[in-house]
Amino acid sequence: MDYFCGHYDVAVIGAGHAGIEAALAAARLGCRTVCFTINLDWIGNMPCNPSIGGTSKGHLVREIDALGGEMAKAADANALQCRMLNLGKGPAVHSPRAQIDRREYSKYMKRAMERQEGLDLHQGEVVSIFRNADGDWEMKTKLDCVFTARCVILATGTFLDGKIYVGDKCFSGGPDGMFPSVGLSDSLKKAGVGLRRFKTGTPSRVNRRSVDFSGLEPQYGDEKVVPFSFSTENPPQNKLECYVTYTNDETKRIIMENLERSPLFGGKIEGVGPRYCPSIEDKMVRFADKERHQIFIEPCGLETEELYLQGLSSSLPVDVQEGFIHTIKGLERAHVMRNAYAIEYDCVDPLVLKPTLEFNELEGLFGAGQFNGSSGYEEAAAQGLIAGINAALKAQGKPPFVLSRSSSYIGTLIDDLVTKGCNEPYRMMTSRSEYRLVLRQDNADIRLMKYGYELGLVGEAQYQALQEKLARIEKEKERVESTFLAPGEALNRVLVSRETTPLSTGCRLADLIRRPQLDYACLAPFDENRPPLPEEVFEQVEIDLKYEGYIKRQQAQIAEMNRLEVKLLPEDIDYTQIVNLRTEAVEKLSRIRPRSIGQASRISGVSPADISVLLIYLAKNNLS
């Protein structure tokens, strides 16, 4: 017998990284929200590497924070070791990364959701969903509890009809020994949602006391930690070390001799795996000429002895896993606490979604995270935030919120998914953005916090702090442009030591900072009037000065692209009726339903000639 449990503005199915941000955003925007999870104790779980950030992913986390999301604050509160990656390269690719205490992170997120006004958490497996006669979405749990909602966000992660593979063993399951979601896939198909299979995997975990660290290469955190959140006043402290080791010829021999026992190479796994995070057996085959592969030994928490073996993802049988692990330096007597596995799951082709992450043909239904074909906690959280915002806005009858790819990595991520689609789990990379010099992690607040403030997700105090920071940046720019340094023996000694031309006449401080070999730090002893400003202010001024020409060029490119982004296409446009559009363009445009001419121009199979036809059509019908 069904039991009706209530009506909500927004319902979120799943409480992983996408579901958390979606539910918190919707509730914070004033919507009555419910979030379902199979197990309340595993909210925000990290079934793979317990880390947040990394190359390009750190950009996403700082953008989430600038918009009013929770991930950055949670990461700062539960960090074990923090590093800024790629410091040897330009600022466009600097990316914060932190090793995280996975259980404490989960507890932090559970508590944040429990304390959020307007948000109800419900432990229950949603097994069916359909749109009723009133236009609301109706959901039923395995215990016959019925809920209705104006909008629903699917954030099912890898649980949807999940199957675990270890050698010849295959069984229904979710990550970390959890139950899978069974039944919801069939219900979604009946509702008109087309699904496909993707797969991912995770390495073994070993006990710290069984690892010999004496010959391993330690990896320490940064002495000066940059937090993820712009509101974190006290940066996290480094508490534990990570270590680096390598595979060898014996590791490779064991793996190659047992390839036929791998479900990946034996054809048992049908789902498509991530190209940029392959299993160790896949790496051995694809990079056969490589002598060794790097393995990172990383902690899972302060209160556990479990260590994560990053780089050793596998679905080989247990005996083979232990065999190749024991060939690796430091791991010769390692005790495996959890075996590696591959997991296969249902997900959607994101080409059926709008840039708001709402389905094109199913009003009020949204997708987020791995359900949309992406991989990674950060990609999931970013999508969850945008889906939660748009579900709330739709439930309230307000205009949608869409970030362009020129505004953010989040905009790039979503535009890639809904415009280009993905044939494998999508991973964010700095190379995916055409505008990465402008879209840096250090200026995410400058770029995006105004949107979080206007939406109501960023508070007045935090926004005013940003305004003060911007004022300080402008004032410091004016100061260095008007400050002159006289030539002198000590200054010239520094300039020569930095392999740059010494001064014979006075020079503006700004011009010296613009020199690639120089920076604020080395010029500080000669800058008598240097004000006591936060380091982030000096950082912004220095980047703006050094990369001024490149930034202006990229901003001009953005302005040109935005010219096409503001030319919106009607949602009900019938592409079959537009003369001179090629057949392939008609098919792709009708399926993807691009929001603008700019988005249409990025669809594979839509040519520049097709774009010209669309522009003429808009002009003739007074739609441009």
Give tens-digit pLDDT for 194-205. 999 999 999 999
Distance CA 535, CA 488 (A): 27
Q: How far is CA 547 from CA 402, 511, 535, 552, in A?
A: 28, 12, 18, 9
CATH number of 205-342: 2.40.30.260
Cβ atoms of 230 and 462 within 8 Å: the answer is: yes
Element (H, E) at 123: strand 119-123
The domain locations on the chain are: 3-47+108-200+345-433, 205-342, 460-552, 566-620
- Say how far apart CA 95 and CA 87 lie, in whole Å: 8
CA dist 383 and 63 (Å) reads 12
Q: What is the residue whose two structure tokens read 């302005």?
A: 559
Residue 93, classified by CB atoms within 10 Å of its CB into exposed (0-12), middle (13-18) or buried (19+), is buried
1 has a pLDDT exceeding 70 = yes
Q: What is the mean pLDDT of the chain?
A: 95
**Residue 319 pLDDT more than 90?**
yes
Q: Is the pLDDT of residue 270 over 80?
A: no
Query: Measuring CA to CA, which residue among 413, 501, 391 is closest to residue 33?
Result: 391
Closest CA to 157 of 307, 278, 36: 36
Helix (H/G/I), strand (E/B), else coil: 556: helix
Distance between CA atoms of residues 133 and 416, nearest Å: 34
Helix spans in 516-547 (H): 520-523, 535-546
The residue type found at 29 is: L
Identify whether the C-beta of residue 31 lies closer than 8 Å to the C-beta of residue 457.
no
Residue that is written with structure tokens 């000096």 in the block:
538
Q: In the chain, pLDDT over 70 holds for what percent of residues?
A: 99
Say what the pLDDT of residue 614 is: 92
pLDDT at 264: 75
Cα(263)–Cα(287) distance, integer angstroms = 19
- The predicted structure's pLDDT at residue 560: 87
Mean pLDDT value of segment 122-130:
97
Helix (H) or strand (E) holding 19: helix 17-28
Supply 523's token pair. Answer: 């010029």
Q: Can you tell me the mean pLDDT for 397-424? A: 96
For residues 184 and 157, give the distance between their C-alpha atoms in angstroms, rounded to a whole number: 13
Among residues 63, 94, 92, the alpha carbon closest in space to that of 436 is found at 92
Which residues contact residue 278 at a Cβ distance below 8 angstroms, ignoring those fewer than 6 apart?
A: 286, 313
The predicted structure's pLDDT at residue 571: 87
Residue 276 has pLDDT above 70, yes or no: no
Straight-line distance from the first to the last Cα atom of the chain, in angstroms, rounded to the nearest whole number: 54
pLDDT for residue 623 is more than 80? no
Segments in 408-443 forming alpha helices (H):
409-415
Q: Is the dihedral of CA 279, 270, 357, 435 positive or negative?
A: positive
Average pLDDT, stretch 367-378?
97
pLDDT in tens, 553-570: 999 999 988 888 989 999
- Per-residue confidence at 505, pLDDT binned at 50, 70, 90? very high
Q: Give Cβ neighbours of residue 617 (< 8 Å, ≥ 6 apart).
A: 578, 623
Structure tokens of 17?
Answer: 């990284």
Residue 272, pLDDT above cutoff 80: no
Lowest mean pLDDT among 272-281, 331-340, 476-485, 515-524: 272-281
Task: Quote the CATH superfamily of domain 3-47+108-200+345-433.
Answer: FAD/NAD(P)-binding domain (3.50.50.60)
Say what the pLDDT of residue 622 is: 82
- Residue pair 304/227 in contact (Cβ under 8 Å)? The answer is no
What is the average per-residue pLDDT within 110-137?
97
Residue 355 clears pLDDT 80, i.e. is over it: yes
What pLDDT, on a 0 to 100 scale, did the predictor assign at position 509? Answer: 97
Q: How many CB atoms lie within 10 A of CB 73?
A: 20
pLDDT at 561: 87
User: What is the predicted pLDDT for the residue at 7?
Assistant: 97
pLDDT for 624 equals 66
| Structure confidence by residue, pLDDT tens digits, 25-38 | 999 999 999 999 99
Q: Is the pLDDT of residue 519 over 70?
A: yes
- What number of H helices and E strands is found in the chain? 21, 22
* Residues 378 and 57: beta-carbon distance below 8 Å: yes
Give the mean pLDDT of 513-523.
Answer: 95
Q: For residue 574, what are the contacts with CB-CB under 8 A and spacing of at least 6?
A: none
pLDDT at residue 208 greater than cutoff 80: yes
CATH number of the domain located at residue range(s) 460-552 in this protein? 1.10.10.1800
Answer yes or no: is pLDDT of 271 > 80: no
Provide CATH code, domain 566-620.
Answer: 1.10.150.570
Please check the confidence at residue 273 and state whether its pLDDT lies above 80: no
